[in-house]
Amino acid sequence: MSLARKKEQISLEAYFELQRSGPERHDFWDGKLVKLEATTKRGLP
């Protein structure tokens, strides 16, 4: 289970490391990870 699903508090440094090394992207909000949904380039020039 990913950290995003557990809703555990993590440090800002751990968040940056996860963003650098992991395939998924997250927001960091109040010590918790919030998984970002996939985005598309649809509608962009």
Q: What tens digit of pLDDT does each residue of 25-40 get?
A: 888 888 888 888 876 6
pTM beyond 0.75, yes or no: no
Let me know if residue 4 belongs to a domain. Answer: yes
Let me know if residue 36 belongs to a domain. Answer: no
Let me know if residue 3 belongs to a domain. Answer: yes
pLDDT, mean of residues 7-31: 85
Let me know if residue 35 belongs to a domain. Answer: no
Let me know if residue 9 belongs to a domain. Answer: yes
Let me know if residue 6 belongs to a domain. Answer: yes
Q: Residue 1: its pLDDT value, please?
A: 44
Domain total in the chain: 1
33 CB neighbour count, 10 Å cutoff: 24
| 6 compared with 29, residue with greater pLDDT | 29
Q: Residue 44: its pLDDT value, please?
A: 55
Q: Residue 30: its pLDDT value, please?
A: 86
Segment holding 6, helix H or strand E: helix 3-6
Task: Give yes or no for a contact between 10 and 21, defined as CB atoms under 8 angstroms apart.
Answer: no
Let me know if residue 16 belongs to a domain. Answer: yes
Q: Which two tokens stand for residue 22?
A: 């992991």
Q: What is the span of the domain harbouring residue 20?
A: 1-26
